Amino acid sequence: MESKIRFRLKKIIKELEEYRARHTELVSVYIPQDYDIVKIQQQLSSEQSTARNIKSSTTRKNVTDALERMIRELRTYKKTPPNGLVCFSGNVAEREGDSDVKVWSFEPPVPLKTKLYKCGQTFYLEPLKEMMTIKEAYGIIVIDRREGNIALLKGKAIIPITSFTSVVPGKYKTGGQSAARFARVREGLAKDFFKKVGAAATDEFRKIENLKGILVGGPGPTKDEFVKGNYLGTEIKEKIIGTVDTGYTGDEGIEETVTRGEDLLAQEEITEEKKIVKRLFETLGTDPDLATYGKNQVKHAIEIGAVKTLLVSEKFNPKEAEKIIESAENIGSEWFVISDETREGKQLIDLGGIAAILRFAMA
């Protein structure tokens, strides 16, 4: 799910979470893809008839009104959208006895498999929250003859799993038979170390249901020896999408593997975010008049049409962010929602959580 779609879905969920009824009178409906929307309308009409038997006159009115608004909303659709349809309706008035019946309907960002009708004190949002969960992941292995690291790249977050230190000694400089014998011992220890790292990586990555691929990094030719050897389980080895040269192992090596593997991980949002934030800081460093940050400065830049690219942190106030994004869209700006889980995302938070690259310098 793209960060923009995730941002807007998160906003909808947050808004709907704020409503709570005094009785079971908020209606939630999930219509799966390819399901006949007319059948749902018929079901809701039947529920409306049943609701007329509710003893409490206030609850009865609120439920029947919510169902009526939802039925009218569903009639605006000729058929169920490709991914299905989600619909919510209910009286969200703050004072008891007042009436403010609202309805929300939208196509979910991923195909919906569940058919559901639920009436409760809150809107039923669990299927939408499940959609927000990042399911796809990449495995990261960083290795040389001294150290091995295993990590997971899930969405934008790099999650270290485990690390190993080998007992392989450095190269022996003295010649003769003892040197040859030492080299054989050294190679044997290296292979034992590769087996240890490979077995651990195989065990860990087998647990990941949606492992999309594996990236192997490390200094020098060691990573290639590791990939070519039979150190990983067959099904895990088949998931390797490439190798990357790094200057380090450890946490720095993992970060470097992700950064240098951008082409191989081109579909992952983390690479796009890193590029955008990097471009912002490069502009601030080389041509500071063409970049700005902070809420008031960015809003002013949008007002005069100066914003080319808007960057908003996930930590920034959602309601304010939506208004600023809408204003930026009105002047043709591109925009990105930046996760707070990356090093670059934390740098943006330090700038107030919002920044912009400009089309022209502001006076």
CATH code at position 253: 3.30.420.60
Q: 35 lies in which domain range?
A: 3-132
Cβ atoms of residues 263 and 257 within 8 Å: no
CATH code at position 353: 3.30.1330.30
In a domain, 62, yes or no: yes
272-311 pLDDT, tens digit each: 788 899 999 999 999 999 999 999 999 999 999 999 999 9
- Of the three residues 132, 155, 178, the one that is the final residue of a domain is 132
Whole-model pTM? 0.64
83-133 pLDDT, tens digit each: 999 999 999 998 888 899 999 999 999 889 889 999 999 999 999 998 887
290-299 pLDDT, tens digit each: 999 999 999 9
At 339 the pLDDT is 84
- Of the three residues 233, 250, 267, the one that is the final residue of a domain is 267
At 168 the pLDDT is 67
At 171 the pLDDT is 62
- Of the three residues 132, 152, 182, the one that is the final residue of a domain is 132
At 134 the pLDDT is 67
In a domain, 363, yes or no: no
> DSSP secondary-structure letter at 13?
H
Are both 146 and 52 inside the same structural domain?
A: no
Q: How many domains does the chain have?
A: 3
Are both 231 and 289 inside the same structural domain?
A: no
In a domain, 35, yes or no: yes
Are both 125 and 142 inside the same structural domain?
A: no
Are both 58 and 77 inside the same structural domain?
A: yes
In a domain, 246, yes or no: yes
> What percent of the chain clears pLDDT 70, i.e. is strictly above it?
94
At 170 the pLDDT is 64
Complete edge-to-edge strand list for the sheet that includes strand 354-358: 291-293, 354-358, 307-313, 334-338
At 340 the pLDDT is 83
At 270 the pLDDT is 72
Are both 115 and 93 inside the same structural domain?
A: yes
At 114 the pLDDT is 87
135-179 pLDDT, tens digit each: 778 999 999 989 999 999 987 788 999 999 987 666 655 555 566
Q: In this model, does residue 75 exceed pLDDT 80? A: yes
CATH code at position 19: 3.30.960.10
Are both 128 and 142 inside the same structural domain?
A: no
Are both 215 and 286 inside the same structural domain?
A: no
Please choose, from the candidates 120, 125, 126, the residue with its C-alpha nearest in 3D space to the C-alpha of residue 63.
120
Are both 102 and 144 inside the same structural domain?
A: no
At 89 the pLDDT is 97
> DSSP secondary-structure letter at 35?
-
Are both 58 and 83 inside the same structural domain?
A: yes
At 243 the pLDDT is 94
Q: In this model, does residue 185 exceed pLDDT 90? A: no
Q: Own/partner pairs for 230-233, CB < 8 Å, 24+ apart? A: 231/194, 231/195, 231/197, 231/198, 231/199, 232/198, 232/201, 232/202, 233/202, 233/206
